[in-house]
Amino acid sequence: MRLKSKDLISTEDLSRDEIELLISTAESFKEISERDIKKVPTLRGRTIINLFYESSTRTRTSFEIAAKRMSADAINISTSSSSVVKGETLRDTAKNLEAMNPDCLVVRHSSSGTPNILAKYLRCSVINAGDGAHEHPSQALLDLFTVREAKGRIEGLKVAIVGDITNSRVARSNIHALGKMGAEVRVVGPPTMIPMDIDSMGCSVFHDLKDAIVDVDVIIMLRIQMERQKAPSFPSVREYSALYGLDGKKLEKAPKDVVILHPGPINRGVEITPEVADGPCSLILDQVKNGIAMRMAIFYLLIGGAREEG
Amino acid sequence: MRLKSKDLISTEDLSRDEIELLISTAESFKEISERDIKKVPTLRGRTIINLFYESSTRTRTSFEIAAKRMSADAINISTSSSSVVKGETLRDTAKNLEAMNPDCLVVRHSSSGTPNILAKYLRCSVINAGDGAHEHPSQALLDLFTVREAKGRIEGLKVAIVGDITNSRVARSNIHALGKMGAEVRVVGPPTMIPMDIDSMGCSVFHDLKDAIVDVDVIIMLRIQMERQKAPSFPSVREYSALYGLDGKKLEKAPKDVVILHPGPINRGVEITPEVADGPCSLILDQVKNGIAMRMAIFYLLIGGAREEG
Amino acid sequence: MRLKSKDLISTEDLSRDEIELLISTAESFKEISERDIKKVPTLRGRTIINLFYESSTRTRTSFEIAAKRMSADAINISTSSSSVVKGETLRDTAKNLEAMNPDCLVVRHSSSGTPNILAKYLRCSVINAGDGAHEHPSQALLDLFTVREAKGRIEGLKVAIVGDITNSRVARSNIHALGKMGAEVRVVGPPTMIPMDIDSMGCSVFHDLKDAIVDVDVIIMLRIQMERQKAPSFPSVREYSALYGLDGKKLEKAPKDVVILHPGPINRGVEITPEVADGPCSLILDQVKNGIAMRMAIFYLLIGGAREEG
């Protein structure tokens, strides 16, 4: 079984069936990472290139570990050592990498749309590992896997996504994926952080965090990403934290069995306090663990099995 | 079968038989990268260290993929993370790496002669992956492989190498290798970019690109490498492009079946226009593909089979 | 057989039996790196993460090669590419990495105590690859292995450690390890480089190098590490070299069969002259070679065999 597309660019492009396939595949792969011998031969002899134009520990490491546990060969390229410094175009970099017969290119780039463009140029699979403020589909998929693991279902759940929705690729990927799975999505943040077209994405909007979470099943806290904001969307970090940071006191308004996600890395004391991040409702480390399984599933469903040439 | 030397430092040192052996070995390895399972156990348990003192995407990645497809262990060391910052001599770095029992050290360095010096100090194999303006033998070998694949032979072909011959290690390696294989080599560029001793290398010199290519079989365009020129050898990039950049109009002067190579990364619109780089005569991406096969062949012929100690 | 602790943080924590076990295990692994096929399947499917907050060629490479020769998957993370730039706490980085189910985290950090703190937070094994001026246990263990190989024993040997004892994690790890094995340790350096509490570590103190080495079996020269000294502890490098640099003339005072170690990278002409570093008494390259075997032994004794969960 494979995904319809050769690429994973966005959750917007996935069908509900595909999302369910990805989650159930990830579920079946999860125990591999719990074994003494954390390795299956499934992707032996496949070449996966991690092409990261933005720095990243967790995402690159997660993809690399997932590749190696599937026995694929993983090659890392980061901007600092890439020929970008020599002024090559992105398309040329990609065509040149493709000529080396990789099976899959995992790409992170600060510009929205880059992986999509690459996917059109290239015959190998392209996985979007985060592009500007557009999408980060593997993150949303691991979030859904984590939610389903905790709640037993996704359909019908009420999910609040809190923070800078406009600039968040994690929010965008989650809104699409959760919507397709039948969850009700609320976005929460100051008006400056809510995109104009949010209605068309099927979300309701809240500006008060306590109002938003009073009856939710899931809260997804977003990272305040200074590095992606040209002009800050709020007067001060202190004010943002006071209004939209999740602390124990605000969390009391939510149902007891609410679960809390965060894509990491967390800014302790900014968007989430330690008592919440490390508390019993937090699934933050489960997300990381499930990230490996989900990336193994993505690789498997994109490049596993015998290749059929079109 | 092995090469005479334990090292690959220059094409100048190779015999015609060795070049033919390298090409035919690369030819036989090429299909490995076309398989679903792109991996052979040939170099399992061999350790290959990529020691890059200059940044590089394509060359380092090509050697790394070649190593992994042969099942060798590949270790990357780049200057930024190396103990060079701690003031160690190059010889000490190399002796220390050798003490870790690598089978092969792949070295790129901005100073001509560095790999040669290392090869004398070290008992393991040393591959020159580019040293200053001296040589880049694996590039020339993959170029010859690509030319032979396209033309069926190398002997008797007319080859124009265009650009900054003086500063180009790719030119130097190609001039030696093509000469040994019986090709006729022409170098093309402004007088400031042609080395004084070019006659002794058996090349004819052209200062007019159109004159040079009128009856050639192969054109090798060189990259304009700002980074290796202390004082620019031409008044402006625009003037260089006008005279020595290959565009569709100039290409009309060449025979219809001419093939065009470029070591990459290309400067689109400087030494080559997109219509030519992406056109039917271009073998640029074949070069990249063949680069993997040639590096597999080099590893195999240097460190494959059982080791015989001298 | 395993070590008592799940971690290797310091030699101070090791028992004499454990040190002996480590040395004899390293001894038995050494020949693996001499084979044509330098690879055993012992740690197949184990994941080892090298998390380096300080740059390093030799130590990171040594751990990486050791991991690969044991067939483990090795993942490298260095500060430049880590999410440290995004302001995450060290503990969060570590907890996140642990959620990816590594078997072992190899950590180098400029702050003393960091690996110890991480080891308390994490369930996986933590190996200290150097923390500030505290300890560098794998270095001391490979030093002891090298000394025992050369001298047949450690007990009863006289060992001089020369240099900036105060700032040296290598000195500290060696003092503890050598002491436990029954060697007599002398520290040698200017008063500004000898820690106040040195007596409690069971060392005698010498300020004159020639006096100190007159009857020793082993001399361990330390690197002058400008990068770890806020204010220099000596007036000039020239003066330091004159008094504490080991040259052929001073070496004449020592017994003929003395052996000389240095953790590298060496500053030729500063703490050691080329004639001594490259001379017949020098074991510097043996140390590097033995470093691979010792790190294989450490991995094996920490994460080899079936896991028993407490």
Q: Is the pLDDT of residue A15 over 80?
A: yes
Question: Residue B64's domain spans which residues?
Answer: 16-136+289-303
Placement of tokens 């980061």 in the chain: A78
Whether B60 and B50 have beta carbons less than 8 Å apart is answered as yes
User: How does residue A310 score in pLDDT terms, banded at 50, 70 and 90?
Assistant: very low
- pLDDT score for C52: 93
Q: Is residue A267 part of a domain?
A: yes
Residue B206's H or E segment, with its range, is strand B204-206
Helix/strand/coil (H, E, C) string of chain A? CCCCCCCECCCCCCCHHHHHHHHHHHHHHHHHHHCCCCCCCCCCCCEEEEEECCCCCHHHHHHHHHHHHCCCEEEEEEHHHCHHHHCCCHHHHHHHHHCCCCCEEEEEECCCCHHHHHHHHCCCEEEEEEECCCECHHHHHHHHHHHHHHHCCCCCCEEEEECCCCCCHHHHHHHHHHHHCCCEEEEECCHHHCCHHHHHHCCEEECCHHHHHCCCCEEEECCCCHHHCCCCCCCCHHHHHHHHCECHHHHCCCCCCCEEECCCCCCECCCECHHHHCCCCECHHHHHHHHHHHHHHHHHHHHCCCCCCC
**Which of B35, B56, B65 lies closest to A100 in CB terms?**
B65
Rounded to 5 degrees, φ, ψ at C19 are: -60, -40
Residue A84 predicted with pLDDT over 80: no
B279 and B228 share a domain? Answer: yes
Same domain? C164 vs C245: yes
Distance between CA atoms of residues C68 and B76, nearest Å? 13
Residues A298, A232 share a domain: no
Q: Does residue A186 share a domain with residue A153?
A: yes
Q: How far is CA C115 from the centre of its chain?
A: 14
Q: Between chains, do C45 and A35 touch, taking CB under 8 Å as contact? A: yes
Supply the pLDDT for residue A199.
Answer: 87
When CB atoms are compared, the residue of A55, A286, A291 closest to C81 is A55
pLDDT digits (tens, 9 = 90+) for B247-294: 999 999 999 999 999 999 999 999 999 999 999 999 999 999 999 999
Which pLDDT value is given to residue C83?
Answer: 47
End-to-end CA gap in chain C: 16
- CB contact under 8 Å between A34 and C101, yes or no, is yes
**Residues B232, B246: one domain?**
yes
Asked if residue B152 and residue B187 are part of one domain, the reply reads: yes
pLDDT of A175: 98
Collect all residues from B whose CB is shorter than 8 A from any CB in A. 33-39, 52, 55-58, 60-62, 64-65, 68-69, 78, 80, 227, 264-268, 285-286, 288-289, 291-292
Distance CA C31, CA C44 (A): 19
Q: Assess whether C167 and C183 both reside in one domain.
A: yes
- Residue B2 is assigned to a structural domain of this protein: no
C281 in a structural domain: yes
Residue C1 lies in a domain: no
Residue A218 has pLDDT above 90, yes or no: yes
Report helix, strand or coil for B23.
helix
Residue C165 contacts residue C212 (beta carbons within 8 Å)? no
> CA–CA distance from B264 to each of A47, A81, B117, B225 (Å)?
22, 16, 27, 11
Token output for A253 = 């308004």
Alpha-carbon gap, residue B212 to B188, rounded angstroms: 7
- Residue among A34, A265, A289 whose CB faces C88 most closely: A265
| Half-sphere CA count of A81, side-chain side, radius 13 A | 25
Q: What is the mean pLDDT of residues A51-80?
A: 92
- Number of inter-chain CB pairs under 8 A, A vs B: 88
Q: Are residues A190 and A265 in the same domain?
A: yes
Q: Of A73, A77, A96, which is closest to B68 when you measure between CB atoms?
A: A73
Q: What was the pLDDT predicted at B230? A: 57
What tokens appear for C304 in the block?
A: 């080899």
Q: What is the pLDDT of residue B232?
A: 67
* Cβ pair C57:B100 closer than 8 A: no
Residue where the block lists tokens 């901005």: B110
Q: Is residue C27 part of a domain?
A: yes
CATH classification at residue B205: 3.40.50.1370
The residues of C whose Cβ lies within 8 A of any Cβ of A are 44-47, 49, 73, 75, 77, 80-89, 92-93, 95-102, 306-307
Is the pLDDT at A120 greater than 50? The verdict is yes
Domain identity same for C210 and C121: no
* Res A82 pLDDT > 80: no
Distance from first CA to last CA of chain B, Å, rounded?
16
Query: Domain check: are C165 and C24 in the same one?
Result: no
Written as six digits, the tokens of B59 are 């060359």
Residue type, A55: S
Domain shared by C141 and C264, yes or no: yes
CA C9 to chain centroid: 11
**Structural domain total, chain B:** 2
State chain B's mean pLDDT as an integer. Answer: 93
Domain assignment of residue B4, yes or no: no
Q: Same domain for A152 and A274?
A: yes
